[in-house]
Structure 1
Amino acid sequence: MKVLLRLFALYLIMCNAVFADRREQTLLEYGAQCAREIGEIPPFDCNSGTNIPITIDGKPPRQDESPKRCDRPSLLHPYQDWPGQCIPYSRIRNLSRGNTQISAYCRQEKLRKDPTPNFDEVDIVLHHAGNGKTCWFQSQSKRPGADGIDASRVPPPNEKTPPRGRVSAVEFWKTPAQTAKQNCMSCHDAGPYIFSPYIGQVWDQVPTDPWGKYSSIGPAFAHPPLLVISTPGNTCMGCHRIGSDKSCDVYLPFSAGRRTLTTGERAPGNDQLANSYPLSHWMPTDNNMSHAEWDVANLRSVDALLLCCLDKNRKDCKFTPIATGDKTRERGASQ
C-alpha cells in the first residue's frame, strides 16, 4: 500500500510539472525573466521622448490637420492604411545603457494637442547586444470611451506594486501571449530594429545591433529559426542582414522603390514625394546617388535577393540561421 501511495504521489508531482509547463507565462513572470536575462526597463514618460517628424511635400502639416498621406509614413502596418501612419507627435525614446538596449515607441493614431499624456499605444523592444536575447512589450488597448492611454508614467513590466495613484504593469501591458499574437519576428526578421524613412528621421535615438546575436525569450515567443538571405557579391548586405520573411515581401521591395511581392501595393501612406526618387529608394541610408547611379550600384543585387524570396531553391541563394547563442537550436537549424 505504501508503495502505491508513493507512486501516486510521484504521478501527481509529474502531472503538476507538465501542467506548469503548459501554463501561460504571466506578464510579471515574463517581465522578471527579461529583466534578469537582459536588463531592467525603468519607468518613463512618453513625452520625454523625441518627436518623430511628419511632413507633406517637405513642410509640417497644420496644427489642426490629420494627414492621410505624407513624405515618410509609418510602416507599422505595411499592407494597408491605418489611422496613425501620418499623424504627428508620436515619440521614440532610447533608454539603453551598456549592452542593454531599450527602444520605446509611443504612438499617436489621432491628432491630439502636443504635449499630451495620452497616446494610443506604447511598444518596447528590449534587447541585449551581448547575448542577443530579446523581449517584446505592447500596451493594452485603451479602455472604451477613454481618450488614449495615459503614458505619463509607463511602468516597468516587472513592477509588482506601482506608486500610489499610478497604473500597474499588469493593467498597462498585454500578457506575453497577447503580444506574441502580433508575430513580432515576422517583421523583425533580421534583427530587433527596423529602419524605414519614418523612423530613420530619428535613427540616432534608436539602438542598433545589425550583426549581433538575436533570439526572443519566453515560451510565448518560441518560433522556428530566423533565416537570412545572401547571394554571391551582393551589395545590399554591407551594413546589415536581409531577413526572409517580411523583409522579402515588404521592406526590401519598398527600400528599392518597388511594390510588395504578394499584393503588388506601394507603401501605404506615401504621397507623391515619397513615391519619387530619392525618397522612394531608402537604402543605403546615406544615399546621395542619382537614380541612374543607384541602379548601377544596387539593382542587380536587389533583383538577386528578390528572386531568392520567390524561389528559395535557386542555385545562388543561401539561407542561413541567425546566430542566437543557443548552440542546440543553431545545430538543429543547420541540419
Structure 2
Amino acid sequence: MLLLLAGTVQTGVQAETLAAYGRQCAEQIAAIPAFSCMAGQEIPITQDGKPVPPQPAPATCDRPSLLPQVDAQSQCVPGSRALVLRDDKTAQISAICRKQVARPAGSPLFDEINVISHSLKDGKTCWFTAKAAAPLREDRGIDGRWVPSPSLLPRQPQPASPEGQRPLPAEKVWLSPREVAWSQPACISCHDSGPFMYSPYIAQTTQLPGDPFGFYQPKAIGEDFKKAWARLNAFGITTRGNTCTACHRMGNMNSCQVALQQSTGNAPQAGGNAWSRRFPQSHWMSPGNLHSQAQWNEQFASSLQQLAACCADPKGPGCQVVDYGGGSRSRP
C-alpha cells in the first residue's frame, strides 16, 4: 500500500503540477525511466565492520546516513538501496530508496525515495521526492518494486515492469514540486557543492555519479524552486593551492557549516559509533584515506584552516568564490 506525506508548503499561489515540472526536466535534461528500487545496490549497515541483521535498527553504526531523518528509527536503518539510472556525457540520474523503519530482509517497502536528474551540458538539475505517510510503520510504505517515472516527455506512457506490473500514477507517488521546494532542509542547502554529495554511507556502493567541477544550476527549472530558493545561492569557496578543493568544490552552506567539520574529524556524525570517530575513518576526506594522522595533517590541515576562515568570511584575504551557474569561474 502506497501512502504519502504532505509537507509544509506555501499557500495562496498557483502551484506548478508534477506533470508540468517533470516535462520541463525531461525536455531540458532527460526523461527519467520507471525503475525498481529492488534492482538497486543495498547500502551496508555495519558495526565494527560486521553487518547487522535487518531488524532491529541499531542506534549507531560505522557509516550512518548523513541525511537528517527526524521520523527514522535511527541513522542506521538497514535495507536502503541506491541505483544510477543514467550516467553518460549528457545526463546523470541517481535514485536512492530509503528505509527509515527496519523491516524483514527483502521487503519492497520504503519510506522515502529521492531522485536527482542533472545535465552535464549546462548544469540544470531537477529534484523529486516521494514519502510514506506518518506515522511510519513496518507493514506499509512506498512499494519499490516498480516506481513510476516523475519526469516524462509529452505523450510518453508509463511502462510496465518486466514482470508486467503497472505503476501507480506518478502524482500518487511523488510529492508536488511545491512540497519538495518548500520542504526543510532545502535540497540545495546540503547539495551546495554539486548535485551529488559524497559520504562514507553512500560510498559503500558504486552507485554515485560524479561531476565535481561541472556546471551546476540547482534552481534553473521549476517556478516553485526558483521562488523557494530565491535567497539560497550556492557557490564554491577556495583558496590558491588548496589541497582540499583540488579534488572537489566546497559549497558555502551545509558543506561549510557541517560537512567540512564532520569529514575532518572535528565534529561527530549523528548515529556514528566509536569506530567512526577513530582515525582514519573519522577523516573521510580525502576518500580512501591511507595516511597516518601526521601525514594527513601535513597535507590538509593548513588548507582546512584556510577554508574554514573563508567559509566564515568569503570576502576575506586570499578567499576565492567560484560561481556554478554558467560554468565554474573564479572571482576574487
TM norm structure 2: 0.84
Distance (whole Å) between structure 1 residues aligned to residue 29 and residue 62 of structure 2: 36
Distance (whole Å) between structure 2 residues aligned to residue 297 and residue 24 of structure 1: 50
Which residue of 288, 292, 311 maps to 1:290?
Answer: 292
Distance (whole Å) between structure 2 residues aligned to residue 140 and residue 69 of structure 1: 24
1:170 corresponds to: 171
Answer whether contact 1:50 1:92 (CA < 8 A) is retained: yes
Residues 63-94 of structure 1 show CA distances to partners (whole Å, capped at 9, x for unaligned) of 4331010000000019x794241011100011
Answer whether contact 2:320 2:331 (CA < 8 A) is retained: no
CA-based RMSD? 2.4
Secondary structure at the counterpart of residue 112 of structure 1: coil
Residues 324 and 24 (structure 1 numbering): CA distance in 2 closer, same or farther, change over 3 Å?
farther
Answer whether contact 1:142 1:149 (CA < 8 A) is retained: no
1:94 corresponds to: 84
Distance (whole Å) between structure 1 residues aligned to residue 56 and residue 132 of structure 2: 25
Which residue of 152, 163, 183 maps to 2:145?
Answer: 152
1:62 deviates by 2.9
1:169 deviates by 0.4
Total equivalences in the alignment = 301
Question: Can you give the 5+ residue segments of structure 2 that lack an aligned partner in the other structure?
Answer: 1-12
1:131 deviates by 1.8
> Which amino acid is 1:186 matched to?
S
Distance (whole Å) between structure 1 residues aligned to residue 331 and residue 166 of structure 2: 52
Secondary structure at the counterpart of residue 147 of structure 1: coil
> Which amino acid is 2:133 matched to?
K
> Which amino acid is 1:220 matched to?
D
Distance (whole Å) between structure 2 residues aligned to residue 74 and residue 214 of structure 1: 24
Aligned 1:108-257 pairs, distance under 5 A: 108-142=99-133, 147-158=140-151, 162=158, 166-182=167-183, 183-202=186-205, 204-216=206-218, 217-222=221-226, 223=230, 224-257=232-265
> Which amino acid is 1:232 matched to?
R
Which residue of 267, 270, 273 maps to 2:272?
Answer: 270
Which residue of 67, 78, 83 maps to 2:73?
Answer: 83
Secondary structure at the counterpart of residue 235 of structure 1: coil
Question: Can you give the 5+ residue segments of structure 1 that lack an aligned partner in the other structure?
Answer: 1-21, 260-265
1:141 deviates by 3.2
Residues 274-304 of structure 1 show CA distances to partners (whole Å, capped at 9, x for unaligned) of 0111110001112110011101110111111
Secondary structure at the counterpart of residue 64 of structure 1: coil
1:316 corresponds to: 318
Distance (whole Å) between structure 2 residues aligned to residue 95 and residue 271 of structure 1: 32
> Which amino acid is 2:323 matched to?
P
Answer whether contact 1:87 1:108 (CA < 8 A) is retained: yes
Identity %: 40
1:244 deviates by 0.6
Distance (whole Å) between structure 2 residues aligned to residue 234 and residue 255 of structure 1: 16
1:143 deviates by 6.7
TM norm structure 1: 0.84
- Tell which structure's C-alpha radius of gyration is larger: 1
Distance (whole Å) between structure 1 residues aligned to residue 321 and residue 23 of structure 2: 34
Answer whether contact 2:72 2:101 (CA < 8 A) is retained: no
Distance (whole Å) between structure 2 residues aligned to residue 82 and residue 301 of structure 1: 36
Answer whether contact 1:51 1:92 (CA < 8 A) is retained: yes
1:46 and 2:37 matched: yes
